[in-house]
Structure 1
Amino acid sequence: MERQVVLITGGASGIGYAAASAWVRNGLRVVISDINVKAGEAAEHALRAESADVRFIPADVSSSSACAGLIAEVMSRHGRLDIAFNNAGIAGPAAKVADCPMDEWRRTIDINLFGIYYCLAAELKAFTAQGHGVAINMASVYGKRGVAGGSAYCASKHAVIGLTKSAALEYGKKGIRINALCPGFIETPLTRGIDSTVPTSTMDALVARSANRRYGSADEIAQAAVWLASDGAAYLNGTAIDVDGGFLAA
């Protein structure tokens, strides 16, 4: 049986790269995509030290045509797509609702929400033709609660969870599973970006409220994604899994 093919958007760094590495170790054929061509090529080179079956395809997920082209290229190269990890995203602006620059608000929604929608829509066409497929959408603990100064990010992630649930209801009967991951505070380039606008003391205080009292690692989220895509999670569909060290339990 041919090895499964997995696509990871935002795969050049952070959680996306950790997930790509984990799936490589599990023997899958891996395609990573990212808007950052230099970082994507470096990631491809590093992952090929573990497997020759790794490809980098640059794409801007905020473009519907780019997302459609990305899925088409994966299908052209491999003839199948078994797992899609729609992971690409940004932190968005740190601003109150009335003060949020409109261009930054739109960019956050374009990447975090429309980027997942565009990819998912194209992936679902491929999955439907095959009769199977697993999509994992990147949400956040802030898709389940609010945070002052982060309305654009919260709005995008709440919407991702709603999209995930609706899509699962529509496509579950076709042998397709669609779930979301809701990470807490994870040590990645994205959170370091947030740290540049949110004081470290504030971030540390939020982490201290969680049950585990620590930041998570990109690999911990990657392992959750690998499991969620596996047959061990075959009965999960339309759900949003918290991988947050107990942050939402507080």
Structure 2
Amino acid sequence: MSNDNQVAVVTGAGSGIGRATSIKLAGNGYKVVLVDFNPATGEETLNLIRNEGGECIFVKADVSNQDDVQAYVQKTVDKYGRIDVFFNNAGIIQKFAPFTTVELEEYERIMDINVKGVFLGMKYVIPIMLEQGRGSIINTASSAGIRPEHSIAVYSASKHAVIGSTKGAAIEYANKGIRINAVCPGGIVTPLFKSVGETLEKTGYVPEEMSPMRMGRHGEPDEVAEAVLFLASDKASFMSGSIVSVDGSLTV
């Protein structure tokens, strides 16, 4: 199937990996529905794509809000009639802190966006793909979902949950034409990643361990986008339930 006829939905499209992947998908012929909570950054991604001749629309949504999720799915179907690729990417990170100092509010915020957001996205996109008889879903987990990081236990737990959801759903829909995989970025230079350093500097808290970057550098959002593009395509036709690390060997 030509990418020119295909529609991709990307959550967290306003920055970082979401933006890079949205641009990559549009550059490869997909019509892209950009979903983000921040209209300013979402519109920036929209303009970057349109300036290169790509087709896209922007929908403001809180991925942890059921009505918002239903709305972005419905707006996609109303506009384009289908969803071929769903990059279920929106997520947040916690502040590095000792486990017992994490406030319940912080725990709930992380779980709402990272776990409930992924669940709701799949809940409402899968029925569309079932009607079509095909589709590819890529969830964004994290290297911390494979090997927990020091002082971000709640974030690690949320990304373990994303991996579990990915594998569980993949089993259910493998024989129904829907492939569900996850990417696990680690050490990628994004606004989210940069905010970690700023927070550490502000709080003065230093984790006892920090993960080594074995390649001697951090990764770029575009390197994750390439993995997502592959998983979205028919080149990954025999992959479902796969957990793909893009982390410079961080979890080895």
TM over 0.5: yes
Q: Which residue of 2 aligns with 1:191?
A: 193
Q: Which residue of 2 aligns with 1:216?
A: 219
Counterpart contact for 2:187–2:213, Cα < 8 Å: no
1:116 to 111, 115, 118: 118
Residue identity opposite 2:236 in structure 1? A
Q: Which residue of 2 aligns with 1:235?
A: 238
Counterpart contact for 1:93–1:105, Cα < 8 Å: no
TM-score (norm 2): 0.93
Cα distance in 2 for partners of 1:165, 1:29 equals 27
TM-score (norm 1): 0.94
| CA spacing shift, 1:3–1:153, aligned 2, 3 Å | same
Q: Which residue of 2 aligns with 1:176?
A: 178
How far residue 231 of structure 1 moved from its aligned partner, in angstroms, is 1.1
Instruction: Please list every run of 5 or more consecutive structure 2 residues that lacks an aligned counterpart in the other structure.
Output: none
Cα distance in 2 for partners of 1:90, 1:110 equals 10
How far residue 241 of structure 1 moved from its aligned partner, in angstroms, is 0.5
Detail structure 1 runs of 4+ shifted over 4 Å in the superposition.
none
CA displacement 1:141-180 (0-9 Å, x = unmatched): 0001122210111010000000000000001110000000
Cα distance in 2 for partners of 1:58, 1:122 equals 17
Secondary structure of the structure 1 residue equivalent to 2:181: strand
Residue identity opposite 2:65 in structure 1? S
Cα distance in 2 for partners of 1:248, 1:150 equals 16
Cα distance in 2 for partners of 1:243, 1:213 equals 15
Residue identity opposite 1:244 in structure 2? D
Deviates more, 1:219-228 or 1:94-103: 94-103
How far residue 52 of structure 1 moved from its aligned partner, in angstroms, is 4.5
Identity of aligned residues (%): 38
How far residue 48 of structure 1 moved from its aligned partner, in angstroms, is 0.4
1:131 aligns with 2:133: yes
How far residue 210 of structure 1 moved from its aligned partner, in angstroms, is 3.7
Deviates more, 1:95-104 or 1:218-227: 95-104
Q: Which residue of 1 aligns with 2:26?
A: 24
How far residue 195 of structure 1 moved from its aligned partner, in angstroms, is 1.3
Secondary structure of the structure 2 residue equivalent to 1:237: coil
Q: Which residue of 2 aligns with 1:58?
A: 60
Cα distance in 2 for partners of 1:31, 1:243 equals 24
1:152 aligns with 2:170: no
**RMSD of equivalent CA atoms:** 1.7
Cα distance in 1 for partners of 2:102, 2:213 equals 28
Counterpart contact for 2:136–2:179, Cα < 8 Å: yes
Counterpart contact for 2:14–2:34, Cα < 8 Å: yes
Residue identity opposite 1:30 in structure 2? V
| CA spacing shift, 1:150–1:126, aligned 2, 3 Å | same
Secondary structure of the structure 2 residue equivalent to 1:196: helix
How far residue 206 of structure 1 moved from its aligned partner, in angstroms, is 4.3
Secondary structure of the structure 2 residue equivalent to 1:107: helix
Instruction: Please list every run of 5 or more consecutive structure 1 residues that lacks an aligned counterpart in the other structure.
Output: none
Cα distance in 2 for partners of 1:154, 1:31 equals 28
The alignment of Structure 1 onto Structure 2 pairs a total of residues equal to: 246
